[in-house]
Amino acid sequence: MRSLLFTPGDSERKLAKGPSSGADVILIDLEDSVASDAKPGARNKVAEFLVRRESSPSGPSIYIRINSLDTEWAEADLAAVVPAGPDGIMLPKARSYDDVKQLTETLEILEKNAGFPVGQTSILVIAPEIPEAVLNMASFQNCGPRVTGITWGSEDLATGLGAHASRDDQNRYRAPMELARTLCLCAGSAAGVLAIDTVYPDFRDLEGLERDAERAAADGFSGKLAIHPDQVPVINAAFTPGDDEIARARQIVEAFEADPGAGVITLEGSMIDRPHLIHAQKLLRRVKPA
């Protein structure tokens, strides 16, 4: 999950174009981009799209962002799309792990009713996206096997906090948003799931996106959300390990495999310990097979 592209659920044209964008994941949106009176029609479009889509090992995964669980729309969203077999559900505005647990229980019922294997529908959590979640981030380390990743929402969080903007005049995150970003990264690591950085809203500023994505990759995020297809190649480049990185990681893994009892090894004049091994293993898991 390097690049995750939002696509409005009420636009047949954009739904059709999403899979060819180059994104690793298409996030079909039933929440913010769909007006209240258009949500029933959007559900039907999304379900029909899922039924018609051609599955391919090289194609993107399809996740559906439903409306938050405390709205009147979430139950109908799930009832419409889960029987059509999406790869996963994106859970917005999660307040704590209790919301993940509630969604998990609902998915289990819907999967059984549809004749699907229980557990086939993954979950991608957005937290923190509201102030309450900032106070409950430790609870997300309990995420179960359905959860593939966790991301966060800077714009909604800024609104919830009453901030004038999520970034300052130097385009740096304001302190509360920086805290939320760090907590998301820590929660993902503690839970053993992917940590995905939030969107870069100015889709015309590709240079700014490149800096933002490279910083996220350096900090430990596995990927980044996108709101426009033009952002996808920039994000993919930032989160794709280079040949030198891959070669070094393989050297580290092979060196420890050759001496499994070692706590520290020497490699090309450098001392390498177990944290380096863990980092190398994580990096290699991000490398797609040739």
pLDDT tens digits, 201-233? 999 999 999 999 999 999 999 999 999 999 999
- Cα(47)–Cα(9) distance, rounded to whole angstroms? 10
What's the pLDDT band for 290 if we cut at 50, 70, 90? very low
- Quick: pLDDT tens for 174-202: 999 999 999 999 999 999 999 999 999 99
Q: Taking a C-beta distance cutoff of 8 angstroms, is the pair 180, 164 a contact?
A: no
Residue 288 has a pLDDT of: 61
Q: Taking a C-beta distance cutoff of 8 angstroms, is the pair 152, 129 a contact?
A: yes
Average pLDDT taken over every residue of the chain: 92
Structure tokens at 134: 């900032």
- Cα(26)–Cα(23) distance, rounded to whole angstroms? 7
Q: Taking a C-beta distance cutoff of 8 angstroms, is the pair 154, 166 a contact?
A: yes
Structure tokens at 3: 């690049």
Dihedral angle over CA of 27, 152, 38, 63, nearest 10: 20
Domain spanning 3-238, CATH class:
alpha beta
**The model's pTM:** 0.88
Q: Taking a C-beta distance cutoff of 8 angstroms, is the pair 119, 144 a contact?
A: no
* 205 three-class SS: coil
What's the pLDDT band for 56 if we cut at 50, 70, 90? low
Q: Is the pLDDT of residue 55 over 70?
A: no
Q: Is the pLDDT of residue 54 over 70?
A: no
Residue range(s) occupied by CATH 3.20.20.60 in the chain: 3-238
- Cα(256)–Cα(27) distance, rounded to whole angstroms? 39
Angle ∠(63,139,121) on CA atoms, nearest 5: 25
Q: 273 or 123: which carries more pLDDT confidence?
A: 123
